[in-house]
Amino acid sequence: MNQTEAAYAERLRALQHAGEILWHRFEGIKLRLADNTFLTVDFAVMLADGQLEMHDCKGSKAIYTDDARVKMKVAAEMYPFVFRVAYPRSKREGGGWLVEEV
């Protein structure tokens, strides 16, 4: 787990403690997209209502590669989960996370 993922895990722990999510797991689910093509999202997250979401965190939008974007979009079409990408906000922007649905 890298530094960005560790920071996002802290956020998820806080949300779980607050009751907004029930569960989360780092790299807990590997999705098959095609022959020899898989996507392992950073976090599987179960919301308080039982809905399962897949969250991927990136250090910035600039490092979110086209390959990763395509895989997330393909997975979103194939699987009944909500897929999200999270980016840390700078302290200048108020900190926290920018979370976008794929």
pLDDT digits (tens, 9 = 90+) for 49-68: 999 999 999 999 888 888 89
Over residues 6-15, the mean pLDDT reads 98
Give the per-residue pLDDT at 39: 96
Q: What is the CATH number for 29?
A: 3.40.1350
Q: Which domain holds residue 49?
A: 3-101
> In angstroms, rounded to a whole number, what is the distance separating the alpha carbons of residues 51 and 79?
13
Residue 22 has pLDDT above 90, yes or no: yes
Number of domains observed in the structure of the chain = 1
Buried (b) or exposed (e) across 40-73, using 16+ Cβ within 10 A?
A: ebbbbbeeeeeeebbbbbbeeeeebeeeeeebbe
Q: Please state whether the predicted TM-score (pTM) of the whole model is above 0.75.
A: yes
58, 64 contact by CB (below 8 A): yes
